[in-house]
Chains A and B, each alone.
Chain A
Amino acid sequence: MGAQLRELRRRIRSTESMKKITKAQELIAASRIIKAQQRADAAKPYSQALVRALEAAAARSNLDHHLLEGTGTPVRSAMLVVTSDRGFAGAYSAGVIRQAEALTGLLHEQGQEVRPYVVGKKGVNWYRFRNREMYGEYVDFSGNPSYTDARRIADDLLEAINTPADEGGVDEIHVVSTHFKNMVSQEVRARRLFPIVVEDVPEPVHHVEAGAPAGADDASAAGGPTPTSPAEDETLPLYEFEPSAEEVLDALLPQYAGNLVYTTLLDAAASEWAARRRAMKSATDNAGEMQETLTRESNQARQAEITQEISEIVGGANALAAAGSE
C-alpha cells in the first residue's frame, strides 16, 4: 500500500473515533439538560412561597432595609459571573465573560469599583491569567449545582453588602449569567440582584419559569393540594408576624438571596449543557463531513495507485516484447 493511502486511512480511523466521542458527549449533555430543568422545577414551590412571604413582610415593615433600597451613590459593586467548569461548550463561557466585561466597563464609567465573584474554572482561569483580583472563586459544581453551593456564594455576597462601603463593603450586587430560554436558545444576562425594588420582587425569580407551561402543577400529583398561586390582583392576607414583620423580613432576605443564586445557578447549568450539546452536535457533524471528504480522497489515491501499477505492468510487458522481437 502506498504511503499516501496509508496516511489517509489512518486519518479516517481517527476521525471516526473522534466522532464517536463527540456523539457520546452530545447524548450526555442532552440528558443533563433535562436533569437541570427538573431540578429547576423542583425548586419552584420554594421560590414562589418565599416571594409571597417576602411580599407580605415587605408590605408591612417600613422598608428601610439596605437590601431593598440603595444608599445614595454606589461606590462599589460585587459582580457574580457564572461560567462553566469544563470546556467543550462552544462560546458558553466566552459569552458570559464578554458580558461581564461590558458590565464592568459600564460600572467603571459610573465611577464604581467592581469586585468579581467568579463561578466556574473557565472564568476563574480567565481572571487569573489577566492577574485580576477575584473576591470569590467557586469551582467544581457548575454543571450540577447544589443548594449548599448557592448558600455559600450568597453568604459571601451578603457579607460584602452588609459591610458599609467605607469599611470595604459593596453597595450593589450584580450577576452575569446565562438564561435558558429553550433547547436552542440561551441568552447571557446581566442583572442587579440587590438592592431590589420591592415591586419587582417576583420578576427575577419568575424569569426561570417564563415560557415553561405551569410545570409546578405536576408536582402535586400525589393527591396533594396545588398551591394557589397568587393572581396578579390578589390582595395578600393580613398576616400576623412572629416575632415581627421587620425580623421576618430580616430573616427572609438572606433566604431570598440564597434562592436567587440557586435558581440562577440552575438556569446557568441548563444553559451550559444546552451549549455543550450544540457544540458537540456540530463537532459530530463536522467529523462526519470530514470523514466523507477523506474517504473520497482515499478512493482517489487507491485508484491512482492501481492505475500506476497497471501502466507499469503494461510498460514492462511492452519493453519485454520489444526486447524479444529484436
Chain B
Amino acid sequence: MAGELNVEVVAADRKVWSGVATLVVAKTTEGEIGIMAGHEPVLGLLATGVVTVRTTDGETVRAAVDRGFLSVSENHVAVLAEVAQLADEIDTASVESELAAAGDDQAAGRWAQARLQVAGAK
C-alpha cells in the first residue's frame, strides 16, 4: 500500500520538521512502534529516544526527542516533545560533555545518549 503519512515533529517552542512520509518509527514507553499509512489512531507516550521518519523521497530524518508523545489519526502523525532536535542541529562535542557531566542523573544521561545516537547515525 503506497499510502502517505503527514508527519509533524513539534517541540514546545517551534516546529522542528514537517513533511510527507511512508514510515515513522518511534519508541514509546511500552516499546518500539512503527506507523504506516492506515494505522489506527494512537496516543502514546514516547520514551526519551530517537524518532525515525522515512520520507516519500526515500530520505531518512532522525530526531532526538525528550518528554514527548505521539498522536496518530487519519494518516496524520504528530510527534510532540518538550525538546526535539534534528541530527544536524546537534553539537556532538557539547552533548558529550553533557553526558560526562550527567553522572547519576539518568534522565539527562538518556537524553544525551539519544542525541548522540541521532548525530552518529547521520
Known pairs A42-B15, A46-B11, A242-B33; A225 contacts B6 (CB<8 A): yes
Tell me, in angstroms, the Cα distance from A240 to B41 when the chains sit together.
Answer: 6
Dominant secondary structure at the B interface: strand
Q: Does B88 contact A (CB under 8 A)?
A: no
Query: Which residues of chain B (1-38) have a CB below 8 Å from chain A?
Result: 6, 8, 10-15, 18-20, 28-30, 33
Query: Which residues of chain A (40-97) have a CB below 8 Å from chain B?
Result: 42-43, 45-46, 49-50, 52-53, 56-57
The reply to whether A146 and B45 contact each other, CB–CB distance below 8 Å, is no
Tell me, in angstroms, the Cα distance from A245 to B12 when the chains sit together.
Answer: 22
Interface size class of A (residues with CB under 8 A): 35 or more
Instruction: Tell me the minimal C-beta distance from B44 to chain A in angstroms.
Output: 3
Q: Does A320 contact B (CB under 8 A)?
A: no
The reply to whether B76 and A241 contact each other, CB–CB distance below 8 Å, is no
The reply to whether B45 and A243 contact each other, CB–CB distance below 8 Å, is yes
Q: Does A258 contact B (CB under 8 A)?
A: yes
Tell me, in angstroms, the Cα distance from A173 to B40 when the chains sit together.
Answer: 37
The reply to whether A243 and B8 contact each other, CB–CB distance below 8 Å, is no
The reply to whether A45 and B29 contact each other, CB–CB distance below 8 Å, is no
| From B28, B30, B80, contact of A49 by CB (8 A) | B80
The reply to whether B18 and A251 contact each other, CB–CB distance below 8 Å, is no
CB closest residue in chain A, given B84:
A46
Q: Does B69 contact A (CB under 8 A)?
A: yes
The reply to whether B42 and A242 contact each other, CB–CB distance below 8 Å, is yes
Tell me, in angstroms, the Cα distance from A252 to B71 when the chains sit together.
Answer: 12
Tell me, in angstroms, the Cα distance from A43 to B82 when the chains sit together.
Answer: 11
Known pairs A240-B42, A240-B43, A258-B12; A49 contacts B78 (CB<8 A): yes
Q: Does A219 contact B (CB under 8 A)?
A: yes
Known pairs A227-B76, A242-B30, A251-B45; A258 contacts B71 (CB<8 A): no
5 A-B pairs in the complex with CB atoms less than 8 angstroms apart = A147-B82, A227-B76, A248-B69, A258-B12, A259-B12
Binding site for A on B (CB under 8 A): 6, 8, 10-15, 18-20, 28-30, 33, 40-45, 67, 69, 71, 73-74, 76, 78, 80, 82-83
Give me 6 other A-B pairs in contact (C-beta within 8 A), A43-B14, A259-B12 excluded. A49-B10, A219-B15, A225-B76, A241-B43, A248-B43, A258-B82
